[in-house]
């Protein structure tokens, strides 16, 4: 039962963390390497990425505090 609860919390947490880091990286790269004729990704995407990353970290902390580490 512990493994099921851990996977139900841990898998979405890892997805949120990876998605947040990816959005942050793409946003920063689009600002650094500007393509001619294409506007860079908006700064709101950076906020979205940081928010997703923060949500993933909070879910991972919840997973560790509720289920523990084996």
The model's pLDDT over 23-61, given as tens digits with 9 standing for 90+, comes to 999 999 988 888 788 888 888 999 999 999 999 999 999
Average pLDDT of span 11-34: 93
On the question of pLDDT at 70 being above 70, the answer is no
HEC profile of the chain: CHHHHHHHHHHHHHHHHHHHHHHHHHHHHHHHCCCCCCCCCCHHHHHHHHHHHHHHHHHHHHHHHHCCCC
User: If pLDDT is split at 50, 70 and 90, which confidence band does 4 have?
Assistant: confident
Other residues' Cβ atoms within 10 Å of the Cβ of residue 26:
14
On the question of pLDDT at 7 being above 80, the answer is yes
């Amino acid at each position: 039962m512990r493994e099921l609860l851990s996977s139900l919390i841990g898998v979405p947490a890892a997805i949120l963390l990876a998605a947040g880091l990816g959005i942050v990286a793409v946003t920063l790269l689009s600002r650094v390497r500007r393509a001619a004729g294409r506007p860079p990704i908006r700064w709101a995407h950076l906020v979205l990425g940081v928010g997703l990353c923060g949500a993933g970290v909070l879910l991972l902390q919840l997973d560790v505090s509720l289920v523990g580490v084996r």
